[in-house]
């Protein structure tokens, strides 16, 4: 588990979460009775999230998929073609630029 020391010699970013888990175990369990461990599951879940970022990664993937879906649904009908974009601003291509810009 967490030793409590990060790479820079100080406490690691997840060590406070680990301390919460240990404190919960100390308060809610005894050597004869382990039934209080269930009360510590939210703290343990927070500690695992700090270590592995699984919930955060899932949330980011979901948002990225929603963004890509929205982008695909809102295609521009009047978008210039790649060839027309390449000609914009070049010398001797004024007629192409005017056609694309609608002037």
Q: Which pLDDT does position 40 carry in this prediction?
A: 93
Question: Residue 1: pLDDT band by 50, 70, 90 thresholds?
Answer: very low
Q: What is each CA distance from 72 to 65, 66, 67, 75, 80, in whole angstroms? A: 11, 10, 9, 6, 17
In a domain? residue 6 = no
Question: Residue 57: pLDDT band by 50, 70, 90 thresholds?
Answer: very high
Domain encompassing residue 90: 14-101
pLDDT tens digits, one per residue of 11-51: 888 999 999 999 999 999 888 888 888 999 999 999 999 99
pLDDT tens digits, one per residue of 59-72: 999 999 999 998 88
Total count of domains within the chain: 1
In a domain? residue 5 = no
Output the DSSP codes for 72-92: HHT--TTPPPHHHHHHTT-TT
């Amino acid at each position: 588990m967490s030793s409590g020391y990060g790479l820079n010699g100080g406490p690691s970013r997840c060590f406070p979460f680990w301390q919460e888990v240990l404190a919960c175990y100390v308060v809610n369990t005894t050597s004869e009775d382990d039934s209080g461990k269930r009360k510590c599951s939210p703290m343990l879940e927070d500690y695992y999230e700090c270590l592995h970022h699984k919930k955060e990664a899932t949330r980011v993937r979901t948002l990225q998929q929603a963004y890509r879906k929205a982008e695909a649904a809102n295609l521009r009908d009047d978008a210039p073609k790649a060839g027309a974009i390449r000609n914009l601003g070049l010398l001797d291509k004024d007629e192409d630029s005017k056609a694309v810009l609608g002037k």
